[in-house]
Amino acid sequence: MNAYPHRTRWAVVAAGALAAALTVGAGTPALAAVPGTATASAGTSAVPPLDPAAVRAALAKRPAADVSAAFVRITGSTGRFEDSSAEDGMAVDTDGRYRIGSVSKIFTATVVLQLAAEGRVDLDGDVRQYLPDFPYQGVTVGQLLNHTSGLPNGTNVPWGDGTTTWFEAHRYDSFTPEQVLATMAGQPLGFTPGTEQQYNGMNTFVAGLIVEKVTGHRYADELRRRIIRPLGLHDTSLPDGDDPGLRHPATRPYLTVPDADGGSGSHRVDVTEQSPWPWAEGGMISSAPDLDRFITALFRGRLLPAAEQEKLFTVPDVPVAPHSGHCPDGKACMSMGLERLAAHGVVAWGKTGSRPGSTGGVFATRDLSRKVVYTVDPTALNGAETPYVLGLVASSFGLGSIV
Protein backbone atom coordinates (compact mmCIF):
# COMPACT_ATOMS: atom_id res chain seq x y z
CA MET A 1 0.00 0.00 0.00
CA ASN A 2 0.96 3.61 -0.32
CA ALA A 3 2.88 4.57 2.79
CA TYR A 4 0.84 7.78 3.16
CA PRO A 5 -2.80 7.01 2.40
CA HIS A 6 -4.15 10.29 3.78
CA ARG A 7 -2.12 12.33 1.35
CA THR A 8 -3.23 9.97 -1.39
CA ARG A 9 -6.83 10.92 -0.71
CA TRP A 10 -6.20 14.61 -1.31
CA ALA A 11 -3.82 14.38 -4.24
CA VAL A 12 -4.35 11.07 -6.01
CA VAL A 13 -7.53 9.15 -5.33
CA ALA A 14 -10.00 11.37 -7.17
CA ALA A 15 -7.83 11.46 -10.28
CA GLY A 16 -6.94 7.77 -10.14
CA ALA A 17 -10.52 6.64 -9.70
CA LEU A 18 -11.63 8.91 -12.54
CA ALA A 19 -8.97 7.61 -14.91
CA ALA A 20 -9.63 4.00 -13.99
CA ALA A 21 -13.39 4.24 -14.27
CA LEU A 22 -13.39 6.10 -17.57
CA THR A 23 -11.00 3.57 -19.04
CA VAL A 24 -11.69 0.25 -17.40
CA GLY A 25 -15.40 0.89 -17.18
CA ALA A 26 -15.49 1.43 -20.93
CA GLY A 27 -13.38 -1.59 -21.68
CA THR A 28 -10.86 0.37 -23.74
CA PRO A 29 -7.12 0.72 -23.14
CA ALA A 30 -5.85 3.92 -21.55
CA LEU A 31 -3.47 4.44 -24.45
CA ALA A 32 -2.09 2.52 -27.37
CA ALA A 33 1.52 2.45 -26.30
CA VAL A 34 4.27 1.72 -28.79
CA PRO A 35 6.90 -0.41 -27.00
CA GLY A 36 10.03 1.53 -26.19
CA THR A 37 8.65 4.92 -27.19
CA ALA A 38 6.55 7.72 -25.86
CA THR A 39 2.97 7.81 -27.06
CA ALA A 40 1.44 10.95 -28.54
CA SER A 41 -2.31 11.38 -28.82
CA ALA A 42 -4.44 11.54 -31.89
CA GLY A 43 -5.55 15.04 -32.72
CA THR A 44 -9.32 14.57 -32.54
CA SER A 45 -11.94 12.52 -30.72
CA ALA A 46 -15.43 11.52 -31.78
CA VAL A 47 -17.48 13.13 -29.02
CA PRO A 48 -21.16 12.10 -28.78
CA PRO A 49 -23.70 14.92 -29.02
CA LEU A 50 -24.13 16.99 -25.88
CA ASP A 51 -27.11 15.72 -23.85
CA PRO A 52 -28.16 18.40 -21.35
CA ALA A 53 -30.84 16.14 -19.88
CA ALA A 54 -28.23 13.52 -19.01
CA VAL A 55 -26.02 16.11 -17.33
CA ARG A 56 -28.97 17.49 -15.35
CA ALA A 57 -29.82 13.96 -14.25
CA ALA A 58 -26.23 13.38 -13.12
CA LEU A 59 -26.24 16.65 -11.17
CA ALA A 60 -29.54 15.73 -9.55
CA LYS A 61 -28.02 12.53 -8.13
CA ARG A 62 -25.96 14.62 -5.73
CA PRO A 63 -25.61 12.55 -2.53
CA ALA A 64 -26.75 15.06 0.08
CA ALA A 65 -24.79 13.45 2.91
CA ASP A 66 -21.53 13.54 0.94
CA VAL A 67 -21.72 16.59 -1.36
CA SER A 68 -23.12 19.97 -0.37
CA ALA A 69 -22.93 21.59 -3.83
CA ALA A 70 -21.74 20.99 -7.37
CA PHE A 71 -21.68 22.64 -10.75
CA VAL A 72 -20.51 21.86 -14.26
CA ARG A 73 -19.68 24.07 -17.22
CA ILE A 74 -19.54 22.52 -20.70
CA THR A 75 -18.36 24.44 -23.76
CA GLY A 76 -16.85 23.71 -27.14
CA SER A 77 -17.89 23.44 -30.76
CA THR A 78 -20.39 20.66 -29.97
CA GLY A 79 -22.50 22.75 -27.59
CA ARG A 80 -22.71 24.64 -24.31
CA PHE A 81 -24.35 23.82 -20.99
CA GLU A 82 -24.09 25.03 -17.40
CA ASP A 83 -25.97 24.02 -14.29
CA SER A 84 -25.57 23.43 -10.58
CA SER A 85 -27.01 21.53 -7.65
CA ALA A 86 -26.85 22.50 -3.99
CA GLU A 87 -28.41 22.11 -0.58
CA ASP A 88 -31.53 24.15 0.08
CA GLY A 89 -30.56 27.69 0.86
CA MET A 90 -27.01 27.37 -0.46
CA ALA A 91 -26.10 29.81 -3.21
CA VAL A 92 -23.94 28.72 -6.15
CA ASP A 93 -22.16 31.26 -8.30
CA THR A 94 -21.00 29.31 -11.35
CA ASP A 95 -18.67 32.20 -12.22
CA GLY A 96 -17.27 32.32 -8.69
CA ARG A 97 -13.85 31.31 -7.42
CA TYR A 98 -12.79 28.07 -5.77
CA ARG A 99 -9.64 26.19 -4.82
CA ILE A 100 -8.48 24.09 -7.77
CA GLY A 101 -5.95 21.89 -5.96
CA SER A 102 -3.79 19.84 -8.29
CA VAL A 103 -5.19 21.50 -11.40
CA SER A 104 -2.44 23.96 -10.43
CA LYS A 105 0.04 21.42 -11.81
CA ILE A 106 -0.99 22.26 -15.39
CA PHE A 107 0.00 25.87 -14.82
CA THR A 108 3.33 24.91 -13.26
CA ALA A 109 4.19 22.50 -16.06
CA THR A 110 3.32 25.18 -18.63
CA VAL A 111 5.70 27.68 -17.03
CA VAL A 112 8.52 25.12 -16.98
CA LEU A 113 7.86 24.21 -20.62
CA GLN A 114 7.98 27.90 -21.52
CA LEU A 115 11.39 28.15 -19.89
CA ALA A 116 12.47 25.09 -21.85
CA ALA A 117 11.33 26.73 -25.08
CA GLU A 118 13.40 29.79 -24.13
CA GLY A 119 16.49 27.61 -23.64
CA ARG A 120 16.65 28.42 -19.94
CA VAL A 121 15.71 24.94 -18.72
CA ASP A 122 16.87 21.63 -20.18
CA LEU A 123 14.12 19.06 -19.76
CA ASP A 124 16.74 16.30 -20.06
CA GLY A 125 19.06 18.07 -17.63
CA ASP A 126 19.63 16.87 -14.08
CA VAL A 127 17.65 18.74 -11.43
CA ARG A 128 20.98 19.37 -9.64
CA GLN A 129 21.98 21.71 -12.47
CA TYR A 130 19.39 24.12 -11.09
CA LEU A 131 19.11 23.08 -7.44
CA PRO A 132 22.61 21.96 -6.36
CA ASP A 133 21.38 20.85 -2.92
CA PHE A 134 18.71 18.54 -4.35
CA PRO A 135 19.38 15.22 -2.57
CA TYR A 136 18.71 12.79 -5.43
CA GLN A 137 20.98 12.04 -8.38
CA GLY A 138 19.88 11.22 -11.90
CA VAL A 139 16.47 12.92 -11.83
CA THR A 140 15.74 15.14 -14.84
CA VAL A 141 13.43 18.13 -15.03
CA GLY A 142 11.22 16.34 -17.55
CA GLN A 143 10.85 13.41 -15.18
CA LEU A 144 9.47 15.78 -12.57
CA LEU A 145 6.81 16.97 -14.99
CA ASN A 146 5.64 13.51 -16.09
CA HIS A 147 5.98 11.89 -12.66
CA THR A 148 8.66 9.38 -13.62
CA SER A 149 11.25 10.78 -11.19
CA GLY A 150 10.83 8.11 -8.52
CA LEU A 151 10.89 10.72 -5.76
CA PRO A 152 9.67 9.46 -2.38
CA ASN A 153 6.38 10.66 -0.95
CA GLY A 154 7.79 12.33 2.12
CA THR A 155 5.86 12.14 5.36
CA ASN A 156 2.27 13.09 6.09
CA VAL A 157 3.20 15.99 8.39
CA PRO A 158 1.71 18.76 6.17
CA TRP A 159 -1.30 16.67 5.15
CA GLY A 160 -2.26 15.33 8.56
CA ASP A 161 -4.08 12.11 9.40
CA GLY A 162 -6.82 12.41 6.80
CA THR A 163 -9.61 13.21 9.25
CA THR A 164 -11.87 16.23 9.25
CA THR A 165 -11.07 16.66 12.94
CA TRP A 166 -7.39 17.18 12.15
CA PHE A 167 -8.17 19.59 9.33
CA GLU A 168 -10.49 21.70 11.49
CA ALA A 169 -7.61 22.22 13.91
CA HIS A 170 -4.93 22.80 11.28
CA ARG A 171 -6.65 24.43 8.29
CA TYR A 172 -4.67 27.64 8.73
CA ASP A 173 -1.29 25.93 9.11
CA SER A 174 1.26 26.93 6.50
CA PHE A 175 4.37 25.20 5.16
CA THR A 176 7.04 26.49 2.81
CA PRO A 177 8.00 24.40 -0.24
CA GLU A 178 11.34 23.73 1.43
CA GLN A 179 9.62 22.41 4.54
CA VAL A 180 7.44 20.11 2.47
CA LEU A 181 10.42 18.73 0.53
CA ALA A 182 12.37 18.26 3.76
CA THR A 183 9.90 15.53 4.72
CA MET A 184 11.60 13.34 2.08
CA ALA A 185 14.86 13.38 4.09
CA GLY A 186 16.41 9.94 4.43
CA GLN A 187 13.92 8.28 2.07
CA PRO A 188 15.34 6.55 -1.02
CA LEU A 189 14.03 6.90 -4.55
CA GLY A 190 11.11 4.59 -5.18
CA PHE A 191 12.49 3.38 -8.51
CA THR A 192 15.15 4.23 -11.07
CA PRO A 193 14.16 7.57 -12.63
CA GLY A 194 12.47 7.22 -16.00
CA THR A 195 11.48 3.56 -15.61
CA GLU A 196 8.02 3.89 -14.00
CA GLN A 197 5.35 6.50 -13.37
CA GLN A 198 4.02 7.43 -9.94
CA TYR A 199 1.91 10.53 -9.41
CA ASN A 200 3.58 12.55 -6.68
CA GLY A 201 3.09 16.18 -5.70
CA MET A 202 6.71 16.43 -4.58
CA ASN A 203 7.66 16.63 -8.26
CA THR A 204 5.74 19.88 -8.68
CA PHE A 205 7.16 21.49 -5.54
CA VAL A 206 10.63 20.88 -7.00
CA ALA A 207 9.53 22.20 -10.41
CA GLY A 208 8.29 25.41 -8.79
CA LEU A 209 11.63 25.92 -7.06
CA ILE A 210 13.42 25.44 -10.39
CA VAL A 211 11.30 28.22 -11.88
CA GLU A 212 12.35 30.53 -9.04
CA LYS A 213 16.02 29.58 -9.33
CA VAL A 214 16.16 30.07 -13.10
CA THR A 215 14.19 33.33 -13.25
CA GLY A 216 15.27 34.90 -9.98
CA HIS A 217 11.61 35.73 -9.31
CA ARG A 218 8.90 34.28 -7.11
CA TYR A 219 6.97 31.53 -8.81
CA ALA A 220 3.70 33.41 -8.26
CA ASP A 221 5.14 36.43 -10.08
CA GLU A 222 6.22 34.34 -13.07
CA LEU A 223 2.79 32.72 -13.14
CA ARG A 224 1.12 36.12 -13.32
CA ARG A 225 3.52 37.45 -15.94
CA ARG A 226 3.45 34.44 -18.22
CA ILE A 227 -0.12 33.13 -17.99
CA ILE A 228 -2.56 35.02 -15.79
CA ARG A 229 -2.10 38.52 -17.21
CA PRO A 230 -1.67 37.61 -20.89
CA LEU A 231 -4.86 35.54 -20.83
CA GLY A 232 -6.84 37.99 -18.69
CA LEU A 233 -7.57 35.41 -15.99
CA HIS A 234 -9.09 37.83 -13.50
CA ASP A 235 -10.23 35.14 -11.04
CA THR A 236 -6.97 33.17 -11.01
CA SER A 237 -4.23 33.58 -8.44
CA LEU A 238 -1.64 31.83 -6.32
CA PRO A 239 -2.02 33.34 -2.84
CA ASP A 240 0.82 33.52 -0.38
CA GLY A 241 0.88 30.62 2.03
CA ASP A 242 -0.34 32.74 4.93
CA ASP A 243 -3.34 34.16 3.03
CA PRO A 244 -6.40 31.95 3.66
CA GLY A 245 -8.90 34.27 1.99
CA LEU A 246 -11.15 33.42 -0.94
CA ARG A 247 -12.99 36.42 -2.38
CA HIS A 248 -16.17 35.97 -4.44
CA PRO A 249 -16.42 32.22 -3.72
CA ALA A 250 -18.51 29.99 -5.97
CA THR A 251 -19.91 28.23 -2.90
CA ARG A 252 -19.34 28.00 0.85
CA PRO A 253 -17.76 24.56 1.20
CA TYR A 254 -17.79 22.86 4.58
CA LEU A 255 -16.65 19.66 6.23
CA THR A 256 -18.62 17.53 8.68
CA VAL A 257 -16.58 17.10 11.87
CA PRO A 258 -17.41 14.71 14.74
CA ASP A 259 -18.14 16.43 18.03
CA ALA A 260 -15.33 16.34 20.57
CA ASP A 261 -17.40 14.45 23.17
CA GLY A 262 -16.95 11.20 21.24
CA GLY A 263 -20.66 10.69 20.71
CA SER A 264 -22.55 10.38 17.46
CA GLY A 265 -23.00 14.11 17.01
CA SER A 266 -21.19 16.30 14.48
CA HIS A 267 -20.89 19.91 13.41
CA ARG A 268 -20.10 21.79 10.22
CA VAL A 269 -16.88 23.70 9.65
CA ASP A 270 -16.80 26.27 6.87
CA VAL A 271 -13.53 25.67 4.95
CA THR A 272 -13.89 28.49 2.43
CA GLU A 273 -10.89 29.98 4.17
CA GLN A 274 -7.86 27.71 4.48
CA SER A 275 -4.13 27.90 3.95
CA PRO A 276 -3.05 27.65 0.27
CA TRP A 277 0.33 26.21 1.28
CA PRO A 278 0.38 23.54 -1.51
CA TRP A 279 1.71 26.39 -3.68
CA ALA A 280 2.78 25.38 -7.21
CA GLU A 281 1.54 21.86 -6.51
CA GLY A 282 -2.01 22.68 -5.49
CA GLY A 283 -2.50 26.11 -3.95
CA MET A 284 -4.14 28.05 -6.77
CA ILE A 285 -7.57 29.67 -6.88
CA SER A 286 -9.54 30.04 -10.12
CA SER A 287 -13.03 29.92 -11.62
CA ALA A 288 -14.79 27.85 -14.25
CA PRO A 289 -14.68 30.63 -16.89
CA ASP A 290 -10.96 31.18 -16.26
CA LEU A 291 -10.11 27.48 -16.46
CA ASP A 292 -12.10 27.23 -19.69
CA ARG A 293 -10.14 30.16 -21.12
CA PHE A 294 -6.82 28.73 -19.92
CA ILE A 295 -7.31 25.23 -21.35
CA THR A 296 -8.52 26.73 -24.64
CA ALA A 297 -5.44 28.94 -24.97
CA LEU A 298 -3.14 26.10 -23.97
CA PHE A 299 -4.57 23.63 -26.50
CA ARG A 300 -4.56 26.25 -29.26
CA GLY A 301 -0.84 26.87 -28.81
CA ARG A 302 -1.04 30.38 -27.41
CA LEU A 303 1.23 29.56 -24.48
CA LEU A 304 3.77 27.12 -25.93
CA PRO A 305 5.64 26.54 -29.20
CA ALA A 306 4.72 23.37 -31.08
CA ALA A 307 7.59 21.21 -29.80
CA GLU A 308 6.88 21.96 -26.14
CA GLN A 309 3.11 21.79 -26.60
CA GLU A 310 3.38 18.26 -27.97
CA LYS A 311 4.91 17.20 -24.68
CA LEU A 312 1.55 17.99 -23.06
CA PHE A 313 0.04 15.22 -25.16
CA THR A 314 2.84 12.65 -24.97
CA VAL A 315 2.66 9.92 -22.34
CA PRO A 316 5.84 7.97 -21.56
CA ASP A 317 5.73 4.27 -22.40
CA VAL A 318 6.46 3.00 -18.90
CA PRO A 319 4.47 1.01 -16.38
CA VAL A 320 2.81 2.54 -13.37
CA ALA A 321 4.69 1.95 -10.14
CA PRO A 322 3.15 -0.83 -8.02
CA HIS A 323 0.38 0.32 -5.66
CA SER A 324 0.42 3.85 -7.05
CA GLY A 325 -3.33 3.64 -7.67
CA HIS A 326 -3.44 6.40 -10.27
CA CYS A 327 -3.45 5.12 -13.84
CA PRO A 328 -5.50 2.19 -15.17
CA ASP A 329 -4.24 -1.05 -16.69
CA GLY A 330 -0.79 -0.60 -15.17
CA LYS A 331 0.23 1.86 -17.91
CA ALA A 332 1.30 5.47 -17.56
CA CYS A 333 -1.43 8.05 -18.16
CA MET A 334 0.35 11.31 -17.26
CA SER A 335 2.15 13.57 -19.70
CA MET A 336 4.24 16.63 -18.82
CA GLY A 337 1.34 18.43 -17.19
CA LEU A 338 -1.84 16.58 -18.15
CA GLU A 339 -3.53 13.25 -17.62
CA ARG A 340 -5.17 11.25 -20.38
CA LEU A 341 -8.67 9.77 -20.07
CA ALA A 342 -10.15 7.48 -22.71
CA ALA A 343 -13.49 5.72 -23.15
CA HIS A 344 -15.64 4.67 -26.10
CA GLY A 345 -13.25 6.29 -28.56
CA VAL A 346 -13.27 9.64 -26.74
CA VAL A 347 -9.91 10.90 -25.53
CA ALA A 348 -9.81 13.82 -23.12
CA TRP A 349 -6.86 15.61 -21.54
CA GLY A 350 -6.81 17.68 -18.38
CA LYS A 351 -6.36 17.39 -14.65
CA THR A 352 -8.27 16.77 -11.46
CA GLY A 353 -7.65 18.62 -8.24
CA SER A 354 -8.73 18.32 -4.63
CA ARG A 355 -8.53 20.40 -1.49
CA PRO A 356 -10.63 19.82 1.62
CA GLY A 357 -14.14 20.93 0.70
CA SER A 358 -13.46 21.09 -3.05
CA THR A 359 -12.91 18.40 -5.70
CA GLY A 360 -12.92 19.38 -9.34
CA GLY A 361 -11.27 19.15 -12.70
CA VAL A 362 -10.90 20.52 -16.20
CA PHE A 363 -10.82 18.26 -19.27
CA ALA A 364 -11.07 18.79 -23.00
CA THR A 365 -10.69 16.90 -26.22
CA ARG A 366 -7.58 18.01 -28.05
CA ASP A 367 -9.65 19.59 -30.83
CA LEU A 368 -11.68 21.49 -28.16
CA SER A 369 -14.95 20.13 -29.46
CA ARG A 370 -15.85 19.40 -25.82
CA LYS A 371 -14.50 21.21 -22.75
CA VAL A 372 -15.67 20.38 -19.25
CA VAL A 373 -15.00 22.19 -15.98
CA TYR A 374 -16.64 20.80 -12.85
CA THR A 375 -16.38 21.09 -9.11
CA VAL A 376 -18.13 19.38 -6.22
CA ASP A 377 -17.99 20.20 -2.51
CA PRO A 378 -17.45 17.00 -0.51
CA THR A 379 -18.28 17.14 3.17
CA ALA A 380 -15.71 14.50 4.15
CA LEU A 381 -12.17 13.48 3.19
CA ASN A 382 -12.81 9.83 2.37
CA GLY A 383 -13.59 10.02 -1.35
CA ALA A 384 -17.30 9.32 -0.93
CA GLU A 385 -18.05 11.85 -3.67
CA THR A 386 -16.15 9.86 -6.33
CA PRO A 387 -19.16 7.99 -7.86
CA TYR A 388 -20.95 11.32 -8.21
CA VAL A 389 -17.93 12.89 -9.91
CA LEU A 390 -17.72 9.96 -12.31
CA GLY A 391 -21.35 10.42 -13.25
CA LEU A 392 -20.85 14.12 -13.93
CA VAL A 393 -17.81 13.57 -16.13
CA ALA A 394 -19.34 10.64 -18.01
CA SER A 395 -22.55 12.52 -18.78
CA SER A 396 -20.61 15.63 -19.78
CA PHE A 397 -18.67 13.69 -22.41
CA GLY A 398 -21.73 11.71 -23.50
CA LEU A 399 -20.44 8.38 -22.21
CA GLY A 400 -23.55 7.24 -20.36
CA SER A 401 -23.24 5.51 -17.01
CA ILE A 402 -19.78 4.31 -16.02
CA VAL A 403 -20.37 3.38 -12.39
- Residue 37: phi and psi, rounded to 5, are -135, 170
pLDDT value at residue 32: 29
401 in a structural domain: no
Tell me which residue of 363, 402, 359 sits closest to 383, measured CA to CA.
Answer: 359
Q: Residue 59 belongs to what domain range?
A: 5-396
Which domain CATH number covers 385? 3.40.710.10
184 in a structural domain: yes
| Overall domain count for the chain | 1
pLDDT value at residue 344: 84
> What's at 80, amino acid-wise?
R
- Give yes or no for a contact between 38 and 358, defined as CB atoms under 8 angstroms apart: no
Q: Where are the alpha helices (DSSP H) in 125-278?
A: 141-145, 164-170, 177-182, 202-215, 219-223, 229-231
The whole-model pTM stands at 0.92
402 in a structural domain: no
pLDDT value at residue 345: 87
pLDDT value at residue 137: 95
> Could you tell me the mean pLDDT of each successive run of 10 residues in the chain, 403 residues long?
40 48 36 36 71 96 97 96 96 97 98 98 98 97 98 94 96 97 97 97 98 98 98 98 96 97 93 98 98 98 97 97 81 96 91 97 97 98 95 91 45
Residue 157: is it exposed, middle or buried by C-beta count within 10 angstroms (0-12/13-18/19+)? Answer: middle
403 in a structural domain: no
pLDDT value at residue 262: 85
10 in a structural domain: yes
